[in-house]
Amino acid sequence: MNTKNVAYVRQEMIGPTPAPLNTRSASGWIRTNLLATPKDALLTILAVAVLVWALPGMINWLFVQAAWFGTDRTFCTTAVQGGIKPNGWSGACWAFVGDRFQQFMFGRYPIDERWRPMLVAILFIALLVPILMPKLPRKGLNALLLFVGLPIVAFFLLHGGVFGLQKVETPLWGGLMVTLILSFVGIAVSLPVGILLALGRRSTMPVIRVICVTFIEVIRGVPLITVLFMANVMLPLFLPTGWTIDNFLRALVGVAIFASAYMAEVVRGGLQAIPKGQFEGADSLGLSYWQKIRLIIMPQALKLVIPGIVNTFIGLFKDTSLVSIIGMFDLLGIVQLNFTDTTWISPVTPITGLIFAGFIFWLFCFGMSRYSAFMERHLDTNLKR
């Protein structure tokens, strides 16, 4: 039938009508999102009041009043306290952070040798970035270089004593460098050990299961600081007379043990979520135990627990700050050490240093959690019902 000539049939489509005003205008958005009910309106007013009360003061303290440049404490103290600021002044002392920035990064590492940690950092970034980008190939080689090659190279570079490099003892290490080394080693050790412990806990062999359960539950039941104390004071007792063990290594052992126990529980969660059919299917194909775990179970289990694994990493990264209690100078430790430095002593120095350290920690942890969310979306095979 020819409809073209029928007068009452439209020849062209009507353009879409714009959405109702109350869903696209600013006032409409405010009405639905801020003032929907009287209770909402009250809450909004309260929140705005809090913001108006707190934000300007914070911005003023952090940026406007802050002492950005300076070489010693006089720039961050008032006249009464012996400085150049007017009495009653209070603001962040960023000059302190700027002056001590190198120390916050490398601790008391000799200044002439600081190219070494810098080089390690560059290598680390060069190996880390490709492994984080799912599109890039050769993940196996990359992981091998990052988790096996880099630690060896980094040890010789940082510690020195070979190839004509000056020896730098670990008590001189410090700052963000130590925080990153501790967490990297913790992560690199805890994942494989955690997987083994989780498999041991799910094992049918009673002896292995009991050993794994005891280890995991004892370590998870006590605070990290006691594990660090244990590593610090008891490791030397456990070793034969005459053996000495570096303080830094003790902290590394403590952190690694602690992280492994937590990782084991995360991995176990993943293992328990795998349907029994997957195990039976692998068995029926004639795969050996390790083939089954490596090819069938772990790829699925680990994918399920990526958020948990990253949370453990974040927790570990934050927990490394505890080594400052057993006398090591990680980022938090070195910032604290500077509070007593007479060059910069002032009422605002501690809080500025802590805000700076907190910001660095936050940056790393927030980055990790964002990346985990991205990987979760990327690996989502949409099999959820």
Partner 1 sequence: MTDHAAIAPSEARTLRSYVYDPKIRGIFFQVLTLVIVVGVGWWIFDNTVANLARSGTASGYQFLKGRAGFDIGASLIEYSSDSTYGRAILVGFLNTILVAFFGIITATAIGFIIGIGRLSKNWLIAKLCTVYVEVFRNIPVLLIIFFWYKGVLSSLPQVRDSVKLPLGMVLNNRGLAFPKPVWGDAAWVIPVALLIAVVAAFIVARWAKQRQMRTGQQFHTIWTVTGLIIGLPVLAFLAVGAPLTFDFPIAGRFNLSGGSVIAPEFVALYLALSFYTASFIAETIRAGIRAVAKGQSEAAAALGLQPSTTTRLVIVPQAMRVIIPPLTSQYLNLTKNSSLGIAVGFPELVATGGTTMNQTGQAIEVVSIWLVVYLSISITTSLFMNWFNAKMALVER
Q: Which is nearer to partner 1, 209 or 303 (CB)?
A: 209
- Residues numbered 226 to 245 that lie near partner 1 (CB under 8 A) are 226, 229-230, 233-234, 236-241
How far is the C-alpha of 7 from the C-alpha of 2, rounded, in Å? 12
Nearer to partner 1, 25 or 166 (CB): 25
Half-sphere exposure of 277 (CA within 13 A, CB side): 1
Q: Which of 47, 49, 80, 143 binds partner 1 (CB under 8 A)?
A: 47
CB neighbour burial string for 90-118, b if at least 16 within 10 angstroms, e if fewer: ebbbbbbbebbeebbbbbebeeebeebbe
Q: How far is the CB of 161 from partner 1 (least distance, A)?
A: 27
Residue of 19, 25, 27, 36 that binds partner 1 (CB under 8 A): 36
Distance CA 179, CA 335 (A): 12
Residue choice 172, 188, 345, 365 for contact with partner 1 (CB under 8 A):
365
Among the listed residues 211, 249, 287, 375, the single contact to partner 1 using CB under 8 A: 211
Sign of CA dihedral 358, 364, 367, 369: negative
Task: Please say which residue, 221 or 275, places its beta carbon nearer to partner 1.
Answer: 221
Contact 367, 313 (CB under 8 A): no
Shortest spacing between CB 205 and partner 1, in angstroms: 5
Number of chain positions touching partner 1 (CB under 8 A): 56
Per-residue DSSP letters for 115-178? HHHHHHHHHHHHHHHHHH-TTSS-HHHHHHIIIIIHHHHHHHHHH--STTPPP--GGGB-HHHH
Decide: is 376 part of the binding site for partner 1 (CB under 8 A).
no
Quick count: other Cβ atoms within 10 Å of Cβ 35? 15
- Token pair, residue 328, equals 């090591």
Among 222, 274, 345, 375, which residue interacts with partner 1 (rule: CB under 8 A)? 222
Q: From residue 319 to residue 338, what is the string marking binding to partner 1 with x (rule CB under 8 A)?
A: x-xx-xx------x---x--
- The residues of the shown chain that bind partner 1, judged by CB under 8 A, are 33-34, 36, 40, 43-44, 47-48, 51, 204-208, 211, 217-218, 220-226, 229-230, 233-234, 236-241, 314, 318-319, 321-322, 324-325, 332, 336, 339, 347, 350-351, 354-355, 357-358, 361-362, 365-366, 369
